[in-house]
């Protein structure tokens, strides 16, 4: 305490609460496993990071995902499991929800989430077909201009032979 200052006595309602320990910020495989399990169960990462003191901040999780390929792999698998869970929930909702409008809404949200998490498995399949005029096959045509003036005698003979072969082939 600085010299010349008197110690102040705090009233009971003025007591300062003890400082909370900070969120974990150092990479920890045990925490990353917990994060992946919670995500696989369908919990939102941002809510987990907001509500659980034993979880790091959301920014830290995303940094870990960039810096640690093994965590990125586990997290990707957890998201796939989350999509599978969403897809399984569709049947349960359809079988148990009494209000059709509520069921339709809950099902649509889960279908959308599953399609975004696993688009190859649950996304809409789209195909694109390109055709020529009136649905005909596309016609490819290649044109090339040949300058005979700059060709040697040997090159001109090769062109002449190629043209003769093409004409013979066309007659057959």
Fold assignment, 23-122:
Arc Repressor Mutant, subunit A (1.10.10)
* Chain centroid, CA 170 distance in Å: 54
b/e string for 7-43 if b means 16 or more Cβ within 10 A?
eeeeeeeeeeeeeeeeeeeeeeeebbeebbebbbeee
Give the global pTM: 0.55
Residue with tokens 């917990």: 34
Count of beta carbons in the 10 Å neighbourhood of residue 128: 4
Ranked by mean pLDDT, the top range of 6-10, 41-45, 83-87, 123-127 is: 41-45
- Whole-angstrom distance, CA of residue 28 vs CA of residue 129: 49
Give the pLDDT score at 4.
55
Q: Could you tell me the pLDDT band of residue 19, with boundaries at 50, 70 and 90?
A: very low
* In the chain, domain spans: 23-122
């Amino acid at each position: 305490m600085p010299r010349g200052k008197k110690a102040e006595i705090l009233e009971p309602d003025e007591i300062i609460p003890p400082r909370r320990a900070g969120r974990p910020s150092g990479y920890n495989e045990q925490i990353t496993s917990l994060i992946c399990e919670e995500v696989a169960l369908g919990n939102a990462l941002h809510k987990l990071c907001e509500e659980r003191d034993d979880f790091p901040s959301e920014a830290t999780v995303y940094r870990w995902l960039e810096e640690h390929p093994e965590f990125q792999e586990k997290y990707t698998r957890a998201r796939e499991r989350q999509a599978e869970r969403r897809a399984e929930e569709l049947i349960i909702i359809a079988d148990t929800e009494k209000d059709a409008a509520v069921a339709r809404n809950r099902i649509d949200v889960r279908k959308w989430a599953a399609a975004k998490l696993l688009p190859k498995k649950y996304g809409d399949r789209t195909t694109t077909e390109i055709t020529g005029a009136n649905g005909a096959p596309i016609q490819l045509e290649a044109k090339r201009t040949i300058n005979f003036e700059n060709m040697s005698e040997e090159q001109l003979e090769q062109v002449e032979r190629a043209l003769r072969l093409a004409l013979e082939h066309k007659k057959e």
